Amino acid sequence: QVVGGKVKKPGKRGRKPAKIDLKAKLERSRQSARECRARKKLRYQYLEELVSSRERAICALREELEMYKQWCMAMDQGKIPSEIKALLTGEEQGKAQQNSIKLAKAGKAEANSSNP
């Protein structure tokens, strides 16, 4: 066949790979495999860290649940744990502080609205 003044031979298109191209292809394949293994290693590290953080969170929640169970058993026996008393007094103090802040803000608003 003659196409554009050039003689074309029938068969495969494109260039035939030389030995250099084969070596380059093998090196690219090796490099790609190295990068793939590195990505896989990073992914496993990330997942292991994620699992360990979730396990720590689960342990903390179990400890908290056990503490609440002990509090409930103590309250069933008619005893009020000191931790609950501290929480209640802390909440009362917090409410008192919130009320004083609200009153102070209301006073400032009234003072601003009464001044012309």
Q: Whole-model pTM above 0.75? A: no
84-116 pLDDT tens trace:
888 888 877 766 666 666 666 666 665 555 544
Q: Provide the token pair at 104.
A: 């102070």
In the chain, where the domains are located: 22-90
Give yes or no for a contact between 71 and 83, defined as CB atoms under 8 angstroms apart: yes
Confidence of residue 34 (pLDDT cuts 50, 70, 90): very high
